[in-house]
Structure 1
Amino acid sequence: MDTIDEKIISELVRNARISHAELGHRVSLSRNAVRQRVERLERQGHIAGYTLARPTGTAGEDLVCAHVLVYRQDRMRGGEVLAAIKRIPEVVSCDVLSGEFDLLVSLEAHSLERVRGIWEDMAQMPGVRDTVTALTLSRIVNRPRRTAT
């Protein structure tokens, strides 16, 4: 990845719906050159997907947040579990951990039923030995993630 790729990713983090033409204008490339770079970044896994972000705090729109601790059957060969988790749109982060648990998966869903469905899907994934799930009761600190500049 070069500095232009970093700028493209930074712009997509700000607005994943930006047109290739506008993105090209912002990074000083043609629309076609930007499209080719975005496709390459997707193939290489630097862009794993685009998600819908809905506002929270309005009536009926609060998100259910949960954290799933995942034990994999094989820590070193568990790539298929990671690939499957990346495809779940409600996953906002997935961290590989040291210690007893293998993964910490954080979810934001629009219902408790959806969290339950995701948990059931994750528990049945080939390569997952066990899971432990905790629901967020309240969030005390909610800082935006810092991006590299």
Structure 2
Amino acid sequence: MPAKPEVDSLDRQILDLLIENGRRSVRDIAARVRLSPSPVKRRIERLERLGVIVGYTALVDEDRLGDTIEAFAEVRYSGSTDVESITASARSVPGVTAVFTVAGDPDALVHFRVESIQHLHRLIDQIRRDGNVIGTKTLMVLDSWRRGERRSAPPH
């Protein structure tokens, strides 16, 4: 495991601002942390070199794309299934957005974004066809919050 990089409270403030908005300008960050832009730019470049910042990404409103249903499936595998096989099996299913292997029961949490209940049904069936799956339990997401995510209030 690589050594933990030195990250001070100012680095943390910069990281929090970038997590909140990855397109935030160095000038804006500098004003918020009360430094000039040059040292902020150097700190960001250092955090990138150290691998603390591994990339920048866009947050997408999946509802606008038609994938309005979000769900998790708890998946249980036979005792002989290794972690890599669990991950590979779930990754091969289109519509799976993330796989979390966990200690305890269940063995994995599989995250989905789909357009309909029927679509989710087909994906759960596909996961169940893996010869090592011994059980599933599906959980539908009613609402969510994620750090750094900008969302309007849910409809009433």
Unaligned runs of 5+ in 1: 16-52
Residues 3-25 of structure 1, C-alpha deviations (whole Å, 9 max, x = no match): 77x69x625xx37xxxxxxxxxx
Residues 14-73 of structure 1, C-alpha deviations (whole Å, 9 max, x = no match): 37xxxxxxxxxxxxxxxxxxxxxxxxxxxxxxxxxxxxx863344x83521111001100
Contact 2:74 2:138 in 1 (8 A): yes
Range with bigger deviation, 74-83 or 105-114: 74-83
Percentage of matched positions with identical amino acids: 16
- Sort the Cα spacing of 1:78 and 1:127 in 2 relative to 1 into closer, same or farther, 3 A: farther
Contact 2:67 2:113 in 1 (8 A): no
Match of 2:121 among 116, 120, 138: 116
How far apart are the structure 1 equivalents of 2:130 and 2:121?
14
Q: What is the TM-score with the length of structure 1 in the denominator?
A: 0.55
How far apart are the structure 1 equivalents of 2:70 and 2:97?
10
| Aligned-partner residue type, residue 125 of structure 2 | E
| 2:143 maps to 1:142 | no
**Aligned pairs for 1:79-94 within 5 A:** 79-94=84-99
Match of 1:72 among 77, 82, 87: 77
Contact 1:95 1:105 in 2 (8 A): yes
Count residues with an aligned counterpart: 103
Contact 2:96 2:111 in 1 (8 A): yes
Q: What is the TM-score with the length of structure 2 in the denominator?
A: 0.53
- Sort the Cα spacing of 1:137 and 1:64 in 2 relative to 1 into closer, same or farther, 3 A: same
Unaligned runs of 5+ in 2: 1-47, 150-156
**Aligned pairs for 1:1-149 within 5 A:** 10=55, 14=57, 55-58=61-64, 61-74=66-79, 76-77=81-82, 79-139=84-144, 141-144=145-148
